[in-house]
Amino acid sequence: MEDIERIKTYLLRLQNTICSALELHETSVKFEEDAWQRPTGGGGLTRVLADGDTFEQAGVNFSHVFGDKMPAPATALRPELENCNFHALGVSLVIHPRNPYVPTAHANVRYFFAEKQNHPSVWWFGGGFDLTPYYPFEQDVVEWHQYASDACQAFGPDVYPRYKKWCDDYFYLKHRDETRGVGGLFYDDLNIWEFERCFEFMQSVGNHFCKAYLPIVQRRKNNTYGQRQREFQLYRRGRYVEFNLLYDRGTMFGLQSGGRTESILMSLPPVVNWRYHWSPEPGSPEAELYENYLKPREWINR
Q: Which residues are catalytic?
A: 106
Closest by Cα among 183, 206, 178, 288 to 11: 206
Give the separation between CA 125 and CA 201, rounded to whole angstroms. Answer: 9
Q: Round to the nearest angstrom and report the end-to-end CA distance of the chain.
A: 39
User: Around Cβ 124, how many Cβ atoms within 10 Å?
Assistant: 18
State the pairing for strand pair 178-179/183-190: unpaired
Closest by Cα among 105, 132, 164 to 239: 132
- How many CA atoms does the CB half-sphere of 111 hold within 13 Å? 25
Burial 220-259 (b: 16+ CB within 10 A, else e): bbeeebeeebbebbbbbbebbebbbeebbebbbbbeebeb
Helices (H), ranges, the chain? 2-23, 72-75, 138-153, 159-170, 195-220, 227-246, 249-256, 261-264, 285-292
Are 247 and 173 a contacting pair, CB within 8 Å?
yes
Give the separation between CA 188 and CA 197, rounded to whole angstroms. Answer: 15
Give the separation between CA 259 and CA 251, rounded to whole angstroms. Answer: 10
Give the separation between CA 199 and CA 155, rounded to whole angstroms. Answer: 12
Give the separation between CA 214 and CA 144, rounded to whole angstroms. Answer: 10
